[in-house]
Chain A
């Protein structure tokens, strides 16, 4: 808050974006996903940012292994002070249900730790497929995504949410598109400058 957002290196594109940018990755190939996310995390580690990853389709150790295979300098154990891989479901739904406010607090706290521990920035990426398992509250995911834009404006950390276009249905993907200012499609940035604000999203469009 007391710092003005500094530009973040994304890794998968040469373009610079302000810290606090909220993107979603829509993919339907695992290789494509790994290419984008691996470079995104690598760029964060190289900039000595605090980096967190929320894994859902693989165990954290497997994520650490593929990152290492890609040449990302991941600590042996997977977790270290500046880098963590956690299970997405435990992070988003710590009590067995999804509550947008709780997760937004987690994000604010994460930002606070970035500032307190003196990192030049922070970045996170999460696989969102946990939301397909009918966990209570997961129907509020889009509301949460809309609210994230507000939180990141005041607590700038760079975030990439991952949506698998084979598993989420087409309508859900369109909803994702509506609330993200930027999407990564085949490694390219698709902009949606008039993305919905939380209050707009919450009242059904007509």
Chain B
């Protein structure tokens, strides 16, 4: 090798050095290769050259692609590439091979076919430097490409998450809208019901009810026709029609009932007329009601018909089951009011005591109506909330600790949980929530609960327990019963801002004929009585009359929801009990809850240890649910816990899956589905897999499998909406439990 510098052309050296400084301008490998090739191809003593890069063309040396290269994979950043034989062309005579490698990566070769060694020799070190520079530049670009790809992936991920957040927010929005609708419905019923309790005059009652319905329900018009028991026209009232109604009235007075009324009187269910303009030919007002649907329902009470309620409502509202049931309920309530007015006429309200009874009765009726309506709507929420809550949990799992979106999703989740809470309260008020009743000792439950009461009530309130030394058993859902006591205690606390005394008593009582005569609800027989009294501010009679109504509160906004006592009321009713309030302003309040005493050989229920960790498993679960989103959320939750999940969207699919599955340890099924009930699914699956356990899930149900909304003992049940955690625990509990529990 000649000493450096001697015989070297400074122009060529200058170019090589400048080229080295210029390399970094390229980001494309191909361009770097071309540049490199041109830099070395004309060098003194070099016959031909090639730059061999991954993905590029095979080296051509002297015009021919090299045969040795055919089987060579040029490494793309792989440092361990064929370490023994860096390049198959290296063995050729006069071949100079420069691996294009950095400390960490290997990207190919620079090959020179040297013709005149002497002339070429002085440049070799510079060519080597240039080759190194090329490798470094390729590596830098290699890293940059990967970074870019990672960024794209990250962005895709983020967009997906944003999409998720958007969807969830929209779902929540939908939930809120339904809540608003529910509120309006409740308000309408309340207005009508208040009217009913006030009205003593038939014509005024009908007139005002028309006005309320037209105003609050968005009906285009509403009218009533009152008829005598033998079907003769008696009176009519309307709202929203105006002068044109005179022609209807004239017709009525001639004894001609419009067709919709005749059909309603002949039918047990409401009559829906799709397009009044086309289908109510003879009716003088129908042509005014384009794009509406007509509704007509008979007003009946205790088998007696009082008339017909007719309305025209925007066509799209006529499909709404809630709207229809509201309509029927109002008709029923008004029939009751007409009945009551009749009664009033006949007896002139013989005694004051019976008047009070009457009011109690009306109150009970009213609660009944509101409850049924609230339950219907709350049920729909439950499915939505299940989806929202589980997806929030999943979205959170997918986000890193410090991710700023955690907060947004946590907000959604918390709002969702609050909504779930509210829904639960509505459901328990409407008595459609699934109870899991057990035979239990009320004293034991109170003693357990007693430990947490001081924290709830604060130190200014003394808690006194007066529990009967021996107390009969009751059948009730322990969680719900705790809710009853807590709600009563919290109200007592609110009534005693300056402190006071809370007394919780239990006693066995026998109710006799006399007691039952003096109260609207109640039954003769053995009861357990729970009394919760306080020394607080008390209530006047007006307040007492309303305390069990949902949303009735005297507390400032944000303090009270008005759902505490309505929840209590619902739970007690559903447990076949009843509740009374006694109070006077300034003299405290006493709530008495009566629950039927039961005699049972069963071991009374004891609370389980709550804080167990959530365990998964590898069992196979068949999940049957018709709502695809709820199904997806449940599947995901269960798979996360390690279970194998088979999915079916109804009875048919469940049959198929059960027939082909090797083993099914658990069937998790919705109760009410369009294609077949959960009970049928249970029978079909346990016929094929007798060892399978069955876990039902539902927001509520009136299905035959559940007796009056109360589960039969031995049937496992999980309430929607559930979080993945709740579902996971319940599944484990059922899988670990003793008997399989096929539906009775």
Which residues on A are within 8 Å of B, measured CB to CB?
A: 26-28, 165-166, 169-171, 173-175, 177-178, 183, 185-186, 190-196, 200, 204-206
Q: Which residues of A contact B19 (CB under 8 A)?
A: 174, 177
User: B14 touching A192 by the CB < 8 A rule?
Assistant: yes
Q: In the complex, what residue of chain A is closest to B44 when comparing beta carbons?
A: A206
Which residues of B in the span 379-394 have a Cβ within 8 Å of any Cβ on A?
none
Q: B93 on the interface (CB 8 Å rule)?
A: no
User: A177 touching B42 by the CB < 8 A rule?
Assistant: no
Q: In the complex, what residue of chain B is closest to A180 when comparing beta carbons?
A: B18
Q: In the complex, what residue of chain A is closest to B11 when comparing beta carbons?
A: A194
- Report B19-43 CB contacts with A as 1/0, cut-off 8 Å: 1011011111011111111110010
Q: How far is the CA of A175 from the CA of B34 in the complex (A)?
A: 11
Our pick among A166, A171, A192, A205 for the contact of B18 (Cβ within 8 Å) is A192
Our pick among A185, A194, A195, A206 for the contact of B25 (Cβ within 8 Å) is A185
Q: B576 on the interface (CB 8 Å rule)?
A: no
Q: B543 on the interface (CB 8 Å rule)?
A: no
Q: B15 on the interface (CB 8 Å rule)?
A: yes
Task: Determine how close the nearest CB of chain A comes to the CB of B530; give it in whole angstroms.
Answer: 78
Q: In the complex, what residue of chain B is closest to A200 when comparing beta carbons?
A: B11
User: B38 touching A185 by the CB < 8 A rule?
Assistant: no
Task: Determine how close the nearest CB of chain A comes to the CB of B461; give it in whole angstroms.
Answer: 71
Q: How far is the CA of A28 from the CA of B35 in the complex (A)?
A: 14
Q: B303 on the interface (CB 8 Å rule)?
A: no
User: A185 touching B24 by the CB < 8 A rule?
Assistant: yes
Q: Which residues of A contact B33 (CB under 8 A)?
A: 170
Q: In the complex, what residue of chain B is closest to A193 when comparing beta carbons?
A: B14
Smallest CB-CB A-B distances: 8 pairs:
A170-B34, A170-B35, A171-B38, A194-B14, A174-B38, A194-B11, A192-B18, A190-B21
Task: Determine how close the nearest CB of chain A comes to the CB of B52; give it in whole angstroms.
Answer: 15
Q: B10 on the interface (CB 8 Å rule)?
A: yes
Q: In the complex, what residue of chain A is closest to B14 when comparing beta carbons?
A: A194
User: A169 touching B34 by the CB < 8 A rule?
Assistant: yes
Task: Determine how close the nearest CB of chain A comes to the CB of B125; give it in whole angstroms.
Answer: 18
Task: Determine how close the nearest CB of chain B comes to the CB of A134; give it in whole angstroms.
Answer: 19
Task: Determine how close the nearest CB of chain B comes to the CB of A32; give it in whole angstroms.
Answer: 9
Q: How far is the CA of A28 from the CA of B213 in the complex (A)?
A: 73
User: B22 touching A170 by the CB < 8 A rule?
Assistant: no
Q: Which residues of A contact B18 (CB under 8 A)?
A: 177, 183, 190-192
Q: Which residues of A contact B21 (CB under 8 A)?
A: 185, 190
User: B10 touching A173 by the CB < 8 A rule?
Assistant: no
Given contacts A190-B18, A194-B11, contact A28 B26 (CB under 8 A): yes
Q: How far is the CA of A19 from the CA of B13 in the complex (A)?
A: 27
Q: How far is the CA of A200 from the CA of B25 in the complex (A)?
A: 26
Q: How far is the CA of A185 from the CA of B19 in the complex (A)?
A: 11
> Taking each of B18, B31, B38, which has the highest tally of chain A beta carbons within 10 Å of its own beta carbon?
B18
Q: Other than the known A170-B37, A177-B15, A183-B22, what 11 A-B pairs have Cβ atoms closer than 8 Å?
A: A26-B22, A28-B27, A166-B31, A170-B26, A173-B22, A173-B31, A174-B19, A174-B39, A183-B18, A192-B18, A193-B14
Q: In the complex, what residue of chain B is closest to A205 when comparing beta carbons?
A: B42
Q: How far is the CA of A191 from the CA of B22 in the complex (A)?
A: 10
Our pick among B10, B27, B35 for the contact of A174 (Cβ within 8 Å) is B35
Q: Which residues of B contact A200 (CB under 8 A)?
A: 11
Task: Determine how close the nearest CB of chain B comes to the CB of A141; give it in whole angstroms.
Answer: 15
Q: How far is the CA of A28 from the CA of B27 in the complex (A)?
A: 7
User: B15 touching A178 by the CB < 8 A rule?
Assistant: yes
Which residues on B are within 8 Å of A, measured CB to CB?
A: 10-11, 13-15, 18-19, 21-22, 24-28, 30-39, 42
Q: Which residues of B contact A178 (CB under 8 A)?
A: 15
User: A196 touching B11 by the CB < 8 A rule?
Assistant: yes
Q: Which residues of A contact B27 (CB under 8 A)?
A: 28, 166
User: B34 touching A177 by the CB < 8 A rule?
Assistant: no
User: A171 touching B26 by the CB < 8 A rule?
Assistant: no
Q: How far is the CA of A185 from the CA of B21 in the complex (A)?
A: 8
> Taking each of B21, B32, B36, which has the highest tally of chain A beta carbons within 10 Å of its own beta carbon?
B21
User: B24 touching A170 by the CB < 8 A rule?
Assistant: no
Q: In the complex, what residue of chain A is closest to B51 when comparing beta carbons?
A: A170
> Taking each of B13, B33, B35, which has the highest tally of chain A beta carbons within 10 Å of its own beta carbon?
B35
User: A169 touching B31 by the CB < 8 A rule?
Assistant: yes
Q: Which residues of A contact B25 (CB under 8 A)?
A: 26-28, 165, 173, 185-186
Q: Which residues of B contact A26 (CB under 8 A)?
A: 22, 25
Task: Determine how close the nearest CB of chain B comes to the CB of A163; give it in whole angstroms.
Answer: 9
Q: How far is the CA of A170 from the CA of B40 in the complex (A)?
A: 12
Task: Determine how close the nearest CB of chain B comes to the CB of A13; give it in whole angstroms.
Answer: 15
Q: How far is the CA of A178 from the CA of B35 in the complex (A)?
A: 12
Q: How far is the CA of A174 from the CA of B32 in the complex (A)?
A: 10
Given contacts A27-B25, A170-B26, A185-B22, contact A194 B31 (CB under 8 A): no
Q: Which residues of B contact A165 (CB under 8 A)?
A: 25-26, 31
What are 14 of the A-B contact pairs (CB < 8 Å)? A27-B25, A165-B31, A166-B31, A169-B34, A170-B30, A170-B31, A170-B36, A177-B19, A185-B24, A185-B25, A192-B18, A194-B11, A204-B42, A206-B42
User: A171 touching B35 by the CB < 8 A rule?
Assistant: yes
Q: How far is the CA of A206 from the CA of B116 in the complex (A)?
A: 13
Q: In the complex, what residue of chain A is closest to B42 when comparing beta carbons?
A: A205
Q: Which residues of B contact A192 (CB under 8 A)?
A: 14-15, 18
Q: In the complex, what residue of chain A is closest to B23 when comparing beta carbons?
A: A185
Q: How far is the CA of A201 from the CA of B21 in the complex (A)?
A: 22
Q: Which residues of B contact A205 (CB under 8 A)?
A: 42
User: A173 touching B14 by the CB < 8 A rule?
Assistant: no
User: A190 touching B22 by the CB < 8 A rule?
Assistant: yes
Q: How far is the CA of A27 from the CA of B36 in the complex (A)?
A: 17
User: A175 touching B38 by the CB < 8 A rule?
Assistant: yes
Q: Which residues of B contact A169 (CB under 8 A)?
A: 31, 34
Q: How far is the CA of A143 from the CA of B19 in the complex (A)?
A: 20
Q: Which residues of A contact B37 (CB under 8 A)?
A: 170-171
Q: How far is the CA of A165 from the CA of B32 in the complex (A)?
A: 10
Q: Which residues of B contact A175 (CB under 8 A)?
A: 38
Q: How far is the CA of A28 from the CA of B21 in the complex (A)?
A: 15
Q: Which residues of B contact A166 (CB under 8 A)?
A: 27-28, 31
Q: Which residues of B contact A196 (CB under 8 A)?
A: 11
Q: Which residues of A contact B15 (CB under 8 A)?
A: 174, 177-178, 192, 194
Q: Which residues of B contact A170 (CB under 8 A)?
A: 26, 30-38
Q: In the complex, what residue of chain B is closest to A32 when comparing beta carbons?
A: B25
Q: Which residues of A contact B38 (CB under 8 A)?
A: 170-171, 174-175
Q: How far is the CA of A204 from the CA of B15 in the complex (A)?
A: 15
Q: Which residues of A contact B13 (CB under 8 A)?
A: 194
Q: How far is the CA of A122 from the CA of B21 in the complex (A)?
A: 29
Q: In the complex, what residue of chain A is closest to B36 when comparing beta carbons?
A: A170
Task: Determine how close the nearest CB of chain A comes to the CB of B43; give it in whole angstroms.
Answer: 9
Q: How far is the CA of A166 from the CA of B32 in the complex (A)?
A: 10
Q: Which residues of B contact A173 (CB under 8 A)?
A: 22, 25, 31, 35
Q: Which residues of B contact A183 (CB under 8 A)?
A: 18, 22
Q: How far is the CA of A178 from the CA of B647 in the complex (A)?
A: 71
Q: Which residues of A contact B39 (CB under 8 A)?
A: 174
Task: Determine how close the nearest CB of chain B comes to the CB of A59; give it in whole angstroms.
Answer: 26
Task: Determine how close the nearest CB of chain B comes to the CB of A23; give it in whole angstroms.
Answer: 13
Q: In the complex, what residue of chain A is closest to B32 when comparing beta carbons?
A: A170
Task: Determine how close the nearest CB of chain A comes to the CB of B449; give it in whole angstroms.
Answer: 70
Q: Which residues of B contact A28 (CB under 8 A)?
A: 25-28
Q: Which residues of A contact B31 (CB under 8 A)?
A: 165-166, 169-170, 173
Q: How far is the CA of A205 from the CA of B45 in the complex (A)?
A: 12
User: B34 touching A186 by the CB < 8 A rule?
Assistant: no
Q: How far is the CA of A196 from the CA of B11 in the complex (A)?
A: 8
Q: How far is the CA of A175 from the CA of B22 in the complex (A)?
A: 12
Q: Which residues of B contact A177 (CB under 8 A)?
A: 15, 18-19, 22
User: B22 touching A194 by the CB < 8 A rule?
Assistant: no
Task: Determine how close the nearest CB of chain B comes to the CB of A36; give it in whole angstroms.
Answer: 12
Q: In the complex, what residue of chain B is closest to A192 when comparing beta carbons?
A: B18
Q: How far is the CA of A204 from the CA of B42 in the complex (A)?
A: 9
Q: Which residues of B contact A194 (CB under 8 A)?
A: 10-11, 13-15
Q: In the complex, what residue of chain B is closest to A174 when comparing beta carbons?
A: B38
Q: Which residues of B contact A193 (CB under 8 A)?
A: 14
User: A171 touching B34 by the CB < 8 A rule?
Assistant: yes
Q: How far is the CA of A173 from the CA of B24 in the complex (A)?
A: 13
Q: Which residues of B contact A174 (CB under 8 A)?
A: 15, 19, 35, 38-39
